[in-house]
Amino acid sequence: MQHDPMDPNFNDEALEPDGWMWVRGVDYVAGWRSAVDAATELKGAMDEAGIDTTEVMSTASTTTDGSGVLRLSLPVQAALALANAAREDALRWRKAGA
């Protein structure tokens, strides 16, 4: 599964049906749904950290085995803020464990 056709940024011209195929018995919807849920969680965490998410774009899809994949596109400012928030949290955990 490539993109959510309900997404306003969906571009059906980029789809190449010969570039992927469905395998019987693989639950692609569950993988896609987990990627959508991960996107929601990530956006929520970024909002809570005070990171501007207005220009953050995400695309949920799956791999050939049905695993969810989340692709992100974000401004450099948001990427740096996310990296900084992750480092601060990691440092807090290290100090708490010391």
SS3 state of residue 96:
helix
Q: 86 φ, ψ to 5°?
A: -65, -40
State residue 1's pLDDT score. Answer: 40
Going from N- to C-terminal start, the domains of the chain cover 12-97
Q: What is the pLDDT of residues 49-92, one digit of tens each?
A: 999 999 999 999 999 899 999 999 999 999 999 999 999 988 88
- Compute how many other C-beta atoms are within 10 angstroms of the C-beta atom of residue 44: 11
Q: How confident is the model at residue 7 (pLDDT cuts 50, 70, 90)?
A: low
State residue 2's pLDDT score. Answer: 47
User: What mean pLDDT is predicted for residues 13-30?
Assistant: 72
- Mean of pLDDT over the chain: 84
Hey, CA dihedral for 25, 26, 32, 34, is it positive or negative? positive
